[in-house]
Amino acid sequence: MTQNIAILGASGYTGAELVRLIATHPSMRIAGLSGERKAGQSMASVFPHLRHLDLPDLVRIEEIDFSTIDLAFCALPHATSQAVISKLPGDLKVVDLSADFRLREAADYEKWYGKPHAATELQKQAVYGLTEFYRDEIRGARLVAGTGCNAATGQYALRPLIAAGIIDLDEIIMDLKCGVSGAGRSLKENLLHAELSEGYHAYAVGGIHRHLGEFDQEFSKLAGRKVEVQFTPHLIPANRGILATVYVRGEAEAIHAALSETYADEPFLQVLPMGEAPSTRHVRGSNFCHLGVVQDRREGRAIIVAALDNLTKGSSGQALQNANLMLGLEETAGLMLAPCFP
Amino acid sequence: MTQNIAILGASGYTGAELVRLIATHPSMRIAGLSGERKAGQSMASVFPHLRHLDLPDLVRIEEIDFSTIDLAFCALPHATSQAVISKLPGDLKVVDLSADFRLREAADYEKWYGKPHAATELQKQAVYGLTEFYRDEIRGARLVAGTGCNAATGQYALRPLIAAGIIDLDEIIMDLKCGVSGAGRSLKENLLHAELSEGYHAYAVGGIHRHLGEFDQEFSKLAGRKVEVQFTPHLIPANRGILATVYVRGEAEAIHAALSETYADEPFLQVLPMGEAPSTRHVRGSNFCHLGVVQDRREGRAIIVAALDNLTKGSSGQALQNANLMLGLEETAGLMLAPCFP
Amino acid sequence: MTQNIAILGASGYTGAELVRLIATHPSMRIAGLSGERKAGQSMASVFPHLRHLDLPDLVRIEEIDFSTIDLAFCALPHATSQAVISKLPGDLKVVDLSADFRLREAADYEKWYGKPHAATELQKQAVYGLTEFYRDEIRGARLVAGTGCNAATGQYALRPLIAAGIIDLDEIIMDLKCGVSGAGRSLKENLLHAELSEGYHAYAVGGIHRHLGEFDQEFSKLAGRKVEVQFTPHLIPANRGILATVYVRGEAEAIHAALSETYADEPFLQVLPMGEAPSTRHVRGSNFCHLGVVQDRREGRAIIVAALDNLTKGSSGQALQNANLMLGLEETAGLMLAPCFP
Amino acid sequence: MTQNIAILGASGYTGAELVRLIATHPSMRIAGLSGERKAGQSMASVFPHLRHLDLPDLVRIEEIDFSTIDLAFCALPHATSQAVISKLPGDLKVVDLSADFRLREAADYEKWYGKPHAATELQKQAVYGLTEFYRDEIRGARLVAGTGCNAATGQYALRPLIAAGIIDLDEIIMDLKCGVSGAGRSLKENLLHAELSEGYHAYAVGGIHRHLGEFDQEFSKLAGRKVEVQFTPHLIPANRGILATVYVRGEAEAIHAALSETYADEPFLQVLPMGEAPSTRHVRGSNFCHLGVVQDRREGRAIIVAALDNLTKGSSGQALQNANLMLGLEETAGLMLAPCFP
């Protein structure tokens, strides 16, 4: 049976990535695409790489007849998402890719996003969308909140270690490198090619990046105590990819074993042989996440390196994986594309 | 029914691209992979982006049992290919990605490749693999010769115009820009990142690039007279993509009409609206070719721009398309992946 | 004697490039920097790569005391430049980097820029800033109009051939590739890193690029008859560099001789040995222009390839070279920096 | 008085960078250039970006008449350097850019480089070339050992803090990102453009990178006790630049003060205002190093970020700075080039 899908905010990168993935999905059909500023335009004009597909034109959200839609992806900016989802039919399944429903507590949302949450009832219903760790809740959810792309990467590296109690919870440092597309298709001077290419820098240094809200929430819940990691993201001149280098106190062998065991049956999580480290180029354009563990020369210290594609496993691929679960489909449907290298 | 596939020369980029595409093919199974220098290694170690796939290890060619193979892709270097294919079982279907069987005349081969052809009987059997123009011959062929990637791009732009007799055959200039992966995974100083990135240059200037052998052969045959184009390739700091800018004498409207009509039912050839020009970034990682036509300010002159991905439509995607035909499968099987942008 | 220099529009790339070059100039001192939207900010905050220099803060133009200024560079947008220069003291030497004074005829300006020229008296005084061909006029000029960066590149390749009467004036095709910085520091979606990197495309196809106004003017004047070239620019994923591949009818030997002779004593123009072609990476960050000539396989046809850095020889370096002449300084002062490779 | 300079190993990137810098040096003259495999070739053919310079051709080392040379830069591979320098005239001033003389103890050399040192007498004479901290010794030295490029970056961030005793010496983590040119002009598969661009990865993970030998030596000496940092380098798809993100225990204010005070009079070291972080793009092609300090959200923890150009301040610029001192010249001569951005 074909599932009718709507994508709200289809003129941004995560929207386009959803279309790319659904294009080879065996049982989904794109029935509605919205894009406020580009309403009236064809997807071929907004994203010429999708011109071979038979897609509806972009419309305003209110022009979509949601009674015919089985599931909507909401790829809108933060805050806008709250307002839009509040007005959607109450029984429509929704996967939200914004930050609006990632944090469980209204106070946390306000702390990290600087204004009160405007849809606290919805916030309570939402399930956190890190598929491998919330699979059961996602299956039955009406609203799933896609994780931050950095937040997903760091959690894949750390959750099994925190759960197993094999690392020092007060001594976690995550140095993360991310590609440019994570910042979206927004007109900012620092995102211009001439500004970004050929150089790299740290940003949001000192523990102020919003994805820390997710780390704090998830790691503390998992550990049963407050956990605060150190986290520094860096912007790298490449379009896709997140590489998290995580410094922990613990035994590398035990860490490798915990990751290997946790992800043994996971279709998208690949733990490399002990001592090897992954590269973002080898997961590019795919839903895979590669993880490596190396023992440091200093005893009792280990480094975990995790790599994924921010637009796929970090957002749109994750969203599709969750949608598959919510619709009772094969979890991997449309997601087994091999990475595109070189 | 599953078709057993062998890929000879699987440690290069076109070999890896074949694996990437076949990974989502509904009825092909990779049964043998050869790589002389890397025999004994796993594909995961040679191409970590393929590590999620269940693939045979790389072996030497003689270790493959060809009695179980339905079709072999031969992604070996020029000259090596002749020697290897000569020794394969005579009834084994083969798609060759090298330059060895592209030229119909032994003399032409010697002229462009600098040494006599060593398998002239095979050369006679081979069918030129530009799918859209040799479809029927390819269906029945035992040996198909994949075209040069630049040669494919230029022919998509020009064949319908030559066939329709609507351009001046003595005044064709093709200025072509190609990405880095077309040069393969070979250790040459000028292919290093530090040498290539941030700059661009013309090479093989003056009509000495080997793909001219294909242009001369195909255009002359099509026109029924000698046709010699001017052709200058340029190396661009990007991994994938060929953009051919072709300057002709003729009416843009007639040219646009000829291209549109010729490719009306072609699944992979997309003619843009009159006056628009394509970009390599919008075909990246896919088997599509985008074509645009623009009228020049000088009357009677037009520009055709063609864009494709050299590793896909320019080589491995084309090869798979041909293999599908040779095996009686759906021509587009495994090839409908949307381009990967950004 | 130190010359006091003002740069109007110093918050853009050509403004920053002027500062970079003047930083090592033996006898210039930057005495004023304007930037309307960023007035009040330090250059270190707008361009952190200049933070080691002792520079005045950005101010509004009217805050600069021009009585103390010996020469002003005007790096403002088209149209704005006319308005601003009209109000500057009439005896102030000015090098304009905009397009406002490149075309000699008001009608030509209106044709290519879509609106009437607002300072036609100034337009008459202006000298066209292609240093090597207007050196004497520039020395005595009050207002010099910097050339278009593409226009400079193409003229270096073609002027000596047109002057010598050794090519067919009706059969000139220029296929040009340029880097990203030529488009300036403007917030346009197509200039974002995620849009631009990894792909390339033709733009302004068909003879509509504004630099054609300069080609038409200069080539026609030089030839004493109307000359209209075909010209297609392409945007390449690199920050700096212009490569012009020019297809002409003529003898390569004669062409090489004409270029070699014309540029024999020029400090910045380097003609490569016959048969070699230049690369943009070898002129990067410098004021040099490299030129190559190759004979085509088709008799009587040749290819000239010219490479320069659009921000240096194509705009700010050219501007400084002209300013040196206007101020009676050594023409090469501040301009002998070697290219930055890799 | 003009100083005659020889560069041994001038066909690699650090050799070319030396030539680029010396090209605008007021009192140095390049009198000899060696390159074993490329002996007999002109520099213009090996490095076309230097073709405007009047340089001697590459020769074999033994063809250089060292009696006319005032100072030799030795830009040869590790181990080769020892052998070559041992045979140079004993009174010739030498700046070595290899790793051969960085470590003071023969045992340390053997530990990190895997074989015994072959010139232990020379090793004893050599002065460690981190200019700002060994200025007096360098002035009087006959042989100066250029530091590792990563080693320089990390030391600029950390030495003032260790000297001031304001950070916990057992809790230092350095996560470093470096560009491609640091690996040299060597033919390795992983340095190809198609392999490197568009992705990033950690290498030498776990404390095995050779520059740790320098950190251990220098930090332990400075602290008067054993200091072992954690260090993970990453390879980034850009040609130039090193960014070190250093995680320490200490007060950010005190750290910022210590850096600011230490570098107050240094011409090339720029400490950014508290809370700001530098970018490699803003030091590109220059001898400057930018340093930033940020307080972490976790009390008592701070992040220091240091950026420099590996080919300039990290190797050839440092080498020239040291040569200036050794020859009694102005320390900054030839080194005040502004960074090349964009």
**In this structure, what token pair is assigned to residue C265?**
């004593």
**Mutual angle of helices B149-164 and B252-262, in 10-degree steps:** 110
pLDDT at D67: 97
Using 50, 70 and 90 to split pLDDT, how confident is the model at B164?
Answer: very high
Count of C-beta atoms within a 10 Å radius of residue D167: 23
Residues A38, A166, single domain; the answer is no
Using 50, 70 and 90 to split pLDDT, how confident is the model at C218?
Answer: very high
Residue-by-residue DSSP string for D62-107: GGS-GGG-SEEEE-PPTTHHHHHHHHS-TTSEEEE-SSTTT-SSHH
Residue C333 placed within a domain: no
φ, ψ of residue C326 to 5 degrees: the values are -65, -30
Residues D282, D258, single domain; the answer is yes
Residues B298, B322, single domain; the answer is no
- Above pLDDT 90, what percent of chain B? 99
Residues D263, D183, single domain; the answer is yes
Q: Do the Cβ atoms of B243 and C284 come within 8 Å?
A: no
pLDDT at C249 over 90: yes
Helix then strand then coil, % of chain A, to nearest 5:
35, 20, 45
| CA distance readout (Å), B254 to B257, B292, B302 | 5, 13, 10
φ, ψ of residue D75 to 5 degrees: the values are -110, 45
Residue A332 placed within a domain: no
Residue closest to C338 by CA, chosen among C268, C273, C277, C271: C268
Residue closest to D97 by CA, chosen among D182, D201, D172, D173: D182
Residue closest to C20 by CA, chosen among C42, C49, C57, C45: C49
pLDDT at D334: 97
In angstroms, the CA C48 to CA C51 distance is: 5
Q: Do the Cβ atoms of D49 and C282 come within 8 Å?
A: yes
Q: Do the Cβ atoms of D239 and B198 come within 8 Å?
A: yes
Environment class of C8 (CB within 10 Å of its CB; exposed 0-12, middle 13-18, buried 19+): buried
In angstroms, the CA D50 to CA C341 distance is: 9
pLDDT at D330: 98
Using 50, 70 and 90 to split pLDDT, how confident is the model at A91?
Answer: very high
pLDDT at D282: 98
- Above pLDDT 70, what percent of chain B? 100
In angstroms, the CA C192 to CA D147 distance is: 37
Residue D264 placed within a domain: yes
The residue ranges of DSSP E strands in B70-114, in sequence order, are: 71-74, 93-96
pLDDT at B1: 83
In angstroms, the CA D111 to CA D134 distance is: 24
pLDDT at C294: 98
Three-state DSSP at B295 gives strand
Residues D25, D132, single domain; the answer is yes
Residue A338 placed within a domain: no
Residue D335 placed within a domain: no
Q: Quickly count helices (H) and strands (E) in chain B.
A: 11, 14
Residues in chain D, overall count: 342
**In this structure, what token pair is assigned to residue B157?**
């732009």
Residues D156, D286, single domain; the answer is yes
Find the closest chain A residue to B19 by CA distance: A338
Average pLDDT, chain D: 97
pLDDT tens digit sequence for A269-284:
999 999 999 999 999 9
Cβ pair D186, D18 in contact under 8 A: no
Residues B216, B301, single domain; the answer is yes
Using 50, 70 and 90 to split pLDDT, how confident is the model at A326?
Answer: very high
pLDDT tens digit sequence for C266-289:
999 999 999 999 999 999 999 999
Environment class of C296 (CB within 10 Å of its CB; exposed 0-12, middle 13-18, buried 19+): buried
Count of C-beta atoms within a 10 Å radius of residue D162: 22
Q: Do the Cβ atoms of A239 and C197 come within 8 Å?
A: yes
φ, ψ of residue D298 to 5 degrees: the values are -85, 125
Using 50, 70 and 90 to split pLDDT, how confident is the model at C1?
Answer: confident
A contact chains, 3+ CB pairs < 8 A: B, C, D
Domain of D287, CATH number, reads 3.30.360.10
* Greatest alpha-carbon span in chain D: 61
pLDDT tens digit sequence for B179-237:
999 999 989 999 999 999 999 999 999 999 999 999 999 999 999 999 999 999 999 99
Residue B8 placed within a domain: yes
In chain C, which residues have their Cβ closer than 8 Å to the Cβ of D340? 20, 49, 284-285, 340
Residues A91, A155, single domain; the answer is no
Helix then strand then coil, % of chain B, to nearest 5:
35, 20, 45
Cβ pair B36, B58 in contact under 8 A: no
pLDDT tens digit sequence for C250-263:
999 999 999 999 99
Nearest CB partner across the interface for B194, out of D180, D189, D195: D180
pLDDT at C334 over 90: yes
pLDDT at C3 over 90: yes
Three-state DSSP at C282 gives helix
Average pLDDT, chain A: 97
| Arithmetic mean of pLDDT, A90-118 | 96
In chain B, which residues have their Cβ closer than 8 Å to the Cβ of C301? 230
**In this structure, what token pair is assigned to residue B120?**
């002239």
Contacts 24+ apart (CB under 8 A), C36-42: C36/C60, C36/C61, C37/C11, C38/C11, C39/C63
Per DSSP bridges, beta strands D28-34 and D3-8 are: parallel
Using 50, 70 and 90 to split pLDDT, how confident is the model at D1?
Answer: confident
In angstroms, the CA B329 to CA C43 distance is: 64
DSSP A48: G
pLDDT at C328: 98
Q: Do the Cβ atoms of D180 and B193 come within 8 Å?
A: yes
Residue closest to B185 by CA, chosen among D194, D200, D237, D197: D194
Per DSSP bridges, beta strands A201-202 and A230-235 are: antiparallel
Using 50, 70 and 90 to split pLDDT, how confident is the model at A197?
Answer: very high
* Greatest alpha-carbon span in chain B: 61
In chain A, which residues have their Cβ closer than 8 Å to the Cβ of B48? 278-279, 282, 290
pLDDT tens digit sequence for C111-126:
999 999 999 999 999 9
Residues A280, A234, single domain; the answer is yes
Query: Could you list the active site residues of D?
Result: 149
pLDDT at C8 over 90: yes
Q: Do the Cβ atoms of D230 and A298 come within 8 Å?
A: yes
Nearest CB partner across the interface for B194, out of C237, C275, C342: C342
pLDDT tens digit sequence for C276-333:
999 999 999 999 999 999 999 999 999 999 999 999 999 999 999 999 999 999 999 9
Residue B297 placed within a domain: yes
pLDDT at A1 over 90: no
Find the closest chain C residue to B238 by CA distance: C198
Count of C-beta atoms within a 10 Å radius of residue B221: 13
φ, ψ of residue A134 to 5 degrees: the values are -130, 30
- Above pLDDT 70, what percent of chain D? 100
Residue D342 placed within a domain: no
Which residues sit opposite C5 in a β-bridge?
A: C30, C71
pLDDT at B300 over 90: yes
In chain A, which residues have their Cβ closer than 8 Å to the Cβ of B42? none
Q: Do the Cβ atoms of B200 and C241 come within 8 Å?
A: yes
In chain D, which residues have their Cβ closer than 8 Å to the Cβ of C22? none
In angstroms, the separation between the Cα of residue D133 and the nearest Cα of chain A is 26
In angstroms, the CA A21 to CA A6 distance is: 14
**Cis status, amide bond into D342, omega within 30 of 0:** yes
Residues B137, B178, single domain; the answer is no
Domain of residue A286: give its range: 150-310
In chain D, which residues have their Cβ closer than 8 Å to the Cβ of A228? 297-298
Find the closest chain B residue to A12 by CA distance: B342
Element housing D230 (H / E)? strand D230-235
pLDDT at D213 over 90: yes
Cβ pair A315, A122 in contact under 8 A: no
Residues A114, A238, single domain; the answer is no
**In this structure, what token pair is assigned to residue C305?**
């390839």
Find the closest chain C residue to D23 by CA distance: C338
pLDDT tens digit sequence for C16-70:
999 999 999 999 999 999 998 999 999 999 999 999 999 999 999 999 999 999 9
Q: Do the Cβ atoms of A202 and D342 come within 8 Å?
A: no
- Start-to-end C-alpha separation, chain D: 36
pLDDT at D320 over 90: yes
Nearest CB partner across the interface for B200, out of C177, C197, C199: C177
Q: Do the Cβ atoms of A278 and B48 come within 8 Å?
A: yes
| Arithmetic mean of pLDDT, B68-77 | 97
In angstroms, the separation between the Cα of residue C188 and the nearest Cα of chain A is 7
Residues D231, D127, single domain; the answer is no
**Cis status, amide bond into C342, omega within 30 of 0:** yes
**Number of folded domains that form chain A:** 2
C-alpha D308: how far from chain center: 10
Domain of A31, CATH number, reads 3.40.50.720
pLDDT at C5: 98
| Arithmetic mean of pLDDT, A22-30 | 97
Find the closest chain A residue to B23 by CA distance: A338
